[in-house]
């Protein structure tokens, strides 16, 4: 079987790349997903926060563009995937972190408002104890329906002729003429271009292909949802869907009538499906007891862990591999995959189509390309 583009991974990185390739005229595209269902790992286990202003301008260039797609998606993506609106970033002092947030918001034209502590307390009294000397509200951010977004990408790609194959774990990658041979459970194919968009499994796949593999870090994070709480706001413009205390490392938002919380923990973890670590709940409880003890009044209904993958530069790896020229990276999206996916997929499709059309030389390899 011969195809033009084989994409490994059907999470946000792979699905968005397939979607944008299909929209710009790409044909002969197949997506290979190792699991029986798409989005089983990081794409389905994140906190679903749309945060336009990210860690640095390189990321914000992508998250701003991706968030715009979430608010006004093309018709073929279905319903608007950005649900409840609003978010706030907090810091404990007027330091460089707050200055960076405000500077990026202004530079990228992100609607925002600098709030007083009293204004935060008025909007969300249950979080009045959170330490905050600086509060920036982002009215156009919010919570993403990650299932609708991922399935929207995949459904639109399928409708345009993309073949999505599940249960197709890749076990071999090798050069085959000008392209690559891909061996997977269930078959073999040859492709003009192979895209590694496999999240935590990107590094092992790159090694399998003999590629120029960066020292990816795969880090585990835990998320917890409390039992139902009658105090959780049902809706309305006065409620903030999420609040993120940046320098203390803690975020919270309503979820299923309770609270979704994370202590922003991260520990090194191999690229295998993570489980909740012993002591993770105690770590969260200690953080909440210090920052927002009112949230401790409800027990935990369920919890899970997810893996986030980073490059050494903490920026996405988006481009052609320097050693294996038919290999393209869409990896290292960290915690920004859902928000940035629309921008990441569009940029990846642009570079891939340029190479396949013969307008991009092999020497133009795969350094991180954030904008």
The proportion of the chain whose per-residue pLDDT surpasses 70, expressed as a percent, equals 94
The predicted-structure confidence for 268-300, as pLDDT tens digits, reads as follows: 999 999 999 999 999 999 999 988 888 888 899
Residue with tokens 């996916």: 341
- Tell me what pLDDT residue 235 has: 56
Domain carrying residue 333? 1-83+142-216+311-371
Q: 121 CB contacts (<8 Å, ≥6 apart)?
A: 127, 128
Q: Same domain for 19 and 78?
A: yes
The token duo for 156 is 């639109």
pLDDT at 95 over 90: no
What is the rounded radius of gyration, in angstroms, for the C-alpha atoms of the chain? Answer: 21
CA dist 49 → 43, 52, 182, 214, 218 (Å): 12, 9, 35, 27, 20
Same structural domain for residues 128 and 8? no
Residue that the structure tokens 């194919």 belong to: 189
Q: Which pLDDT value is given to residue 120?
A: 81
Residues 211 and 262 in one domain: no
Beta carbons of 300 and 224 less than 8 angstroms apart:
yes
The CATH number that applies at residue 295 is 3.30.9.10
State CA 308 to chain mean position distance: 8
State yes or no: pLDDT of 240 exceeds 80: no
**How high does pLDDT run on average in the chain?**
90
- For residue 342, the domain's CATH number is 3.50.50.60
**Shared domain check, 75 and 2:** yes
Rounded distance, CA 228 to CA 258, Å? 4
Identify the DSSP state of 25. T
User: Are residue 106 and residue 63 in the same domain, yes or no?
Assistant: no
Instruction: Give the containing element (helix H, strand E) for 88.
Output: strand 88-91
- Locate 239 and state its tokens: 């409620």
What is the spatial distance between Cα 7 and Cα 55, in angstroms, rounded to a whole number? 28
How far is residue 243's CA from residue 47's CA, in Å, rounded to a whole number?
Answer: 12
Is residue 14 very low, low, confident or very high in pLDDT (cuts 50, 70, 90)? very high
pLDDT of residue 365: 44
Same domain flag for 166 and 75:
yes
DSSP category for residue 184: E
User: Residue 139 burial (CB < 10 Å; 0-12/13-18/19+)?
Assistant: middle
Cβ burial of 189 (10 Å; 0-12, 13-18, 19+) is buried
Residue 157 pLDDT > 90: yes
How confident is the model over 52-63, as pLDDT tens digits? 999 899 999 999
Give CA–CA dist 157/9, Å, rounded: 14
Residues 352 and 342 in one domain: yes
What does the alpha-carbon distance between residue 40 and residue 258 come to, in Å, rounded to a whole number?
23
Region of poorest pLDDT, from 289-293, 307-311, 315-319, 346-350: 289-293
Of 308, 329, 363, at which residue does a domain stop? 308
């Amino acid at each position: 079987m011969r195809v033009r583009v084989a994409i490994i991974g059907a999470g946000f990185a792979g699905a968005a790349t397939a979607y944008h390739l299909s929209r710009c005229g790409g044909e002969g595209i197949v997506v290979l997903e190792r699991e029986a269902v798409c989005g089983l790992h990081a794409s389905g286990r994140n906190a679903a926060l749309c945060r336009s202003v990210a860690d640095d301008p390189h990321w914000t260039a992508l998250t701003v563009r991706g968030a715009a797609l979430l608010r006004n998606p093309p018709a073929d993506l279905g319903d608007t995937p950005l649900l409840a609106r609003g978010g706030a970033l907090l810091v404990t002092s007027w330091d460089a972190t707050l200055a960076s947030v405000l500077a990026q918001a202004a530079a990228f034209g992100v609607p925002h408002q600098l709030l007083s502590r009293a204004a935060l307390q008025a909007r969300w009294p249950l979080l009045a104890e959170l330490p905050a000397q600086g509060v920036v509200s982002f009215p156009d951010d919010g919570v993403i329906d990650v299932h609708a977004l991922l399935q929207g990408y995949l459904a639109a790609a399928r409708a345009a002729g993309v073949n999505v194959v599940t249960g197709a774990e890749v076990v071999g990658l090798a050069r085959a003429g000008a392209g690559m041979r891909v061996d997977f459970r269930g078959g073999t194919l040859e492709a003009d271009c192979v895209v590694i968009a496999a999240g935590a499994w990107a590094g092992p796949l790159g090694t399998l292909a003999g590629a120029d593999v960066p020292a990816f870090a795969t880090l585990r994070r835990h998320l917890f949802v409390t039992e139902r709480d009658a105090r959780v706001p049902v809706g309305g413009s006065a409620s903030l869907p999420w609040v993120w205390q940046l320098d203390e490392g803690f975020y919270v938002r309503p979820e299923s009538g309770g609270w979704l919380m994370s202590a922003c923990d991260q520990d090194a973890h191999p690229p295998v499906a993570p489980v909740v670590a012993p002591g993770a709940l105690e770590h969260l409880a200690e953080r909440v007891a210090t920052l927002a003890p009112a949230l401790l009044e409800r027990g935990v209904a369920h919890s899970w862990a997810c893996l986030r993958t980073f490059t050494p530069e903490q920026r996405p790896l988006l481009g052609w591999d320097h050693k294996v020229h038919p290999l393209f990276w869409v990896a290292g999206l960290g915690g920004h995959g859902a928000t940035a996916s629309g921008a990441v997929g569009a940029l990846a499709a642009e570079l891939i189509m340029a190479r396949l059309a013969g307008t991009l030389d092999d020497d133009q390899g795969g350094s991180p390309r954030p904008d």
